[in-house]
Amino acid sequence: MILVTGGAGFIGSNFVLDWLGHVGEPVVNLDKLTYAGNPDNLVALKSDERYRFVHGDIGDAGLVASLLKDSQPRAIVNFAAESHVDRSIHGPDDFIQTNIVGTFHLLETVRAYWTELDGSAKAAFRFLHVSTDEVYGSLEPGDSAFQETNAYRPNSPYSASKASSDHLIRAYHHTFGLPVLTTNCSNNYGPYQFPEKLIPLVIHNALAGKSLPIYGDGRQIRDWLYVKDHCAAVCRVLEAGRLGETYNVGGWNEKPNIDVVHTICDMLDELAPPSTRGLSPATYRSLITFVKDRPGHDRRYAIDATKIERELGWKPVETFETGIRKTVQWYLDHQPWVRNVTSGSYRQWVETQYRA
């Protein structure tokens, strides 16, 4: 079996569902269930004997040690993290505690467990740490995309905390020999994403006839990766990645934010016209509102995913056009899920964060 941390979040829950659907190996899911961790993401596994959920913190050494002793996982996939730049600007402490301190405690507990394994189990064990392209900083328009050899230049409390965790992972491999793997991914999108991030926020607000807040001029560029492609990449790295190596995972889909928003609006005009929802605007594009840019907003991210394709044979299946259509349709088909996660506290936070 494997242990997944943060498996009730957006990427983690997609990974657990895909793992059980395609690999079938039992999973224990350890999740703290902060605001973005949602057990409803995994309700389909409620009666699945291959799945076990444990409510807890990666920084709780006693809990994690007990879990490792009882479950004897052959691998750990670490998704557990605070992951939203805007929230890290308003409240950095949670990001330091989870992403740095929590990762440290998890590594210490896992190292103790791994050290006591017998020869074959010890040799086969893997610790895969999932990180972000934001650790590399920001690119200028003509710069080459991020490669695994790029220097780290994080620009937000979030990306700095993830960079710190990446360095800890590397150090535990170099110093203690812990068999680690690291992936750094670009912007994910797809089912079960909490609607504070750009794509689900735009879908949610548009369907409600609310303004679509766009930071600054909207020309910030991101590389967009469909979450199911990301999950497949993580599986492949866990299966065949070289120990101690980092693999950048990207979608080869650089898009300015405003173009992403236009694509969503046009797709919603087709699939859920405003008139059919009792809304007055003729098109969803008319709801776009430009708001004050966030502090230190990175201008461009881009991932060069050549290494993982060359070494492991992985490349994304979805284009942005196919992935965004699947995503929009998923949110249209799962409005009860959206209503359940958009609580009063969430609405208050969005109103404060995106005030024009």
Residues tagged active-site: 133-134, 158
Specify the DSSP element, H or E, that contains 28: strand 27-31
Q: Taking a C-beta distance cutoff of 8 angstroms, is the pair 25, 18 a contact?
A: no
For helices 198-207 and 257-271, what crossing angle results, to 10°?
A: 40
What is the 3-class SS of 117-153, one letter each residue? Answer: CCHHHHHHCEEEEEEEHHHHCCCCCCCCCECCCCCCC
Beta strands in 96-186 (DSSP E): 126-132, 180-185
CA distance to 36, 200, 205, per residue, from 331 (Å): 16, 8, 12
Picking from 156, 169, 75, the residue whose alpha carbon sits closest to that of residue 113 is: 75
- Reading the block at residue 140, the tokens are 């200028």
CA distance 114 to 127: 10
The three-state secondary structure class of 188 is: strand
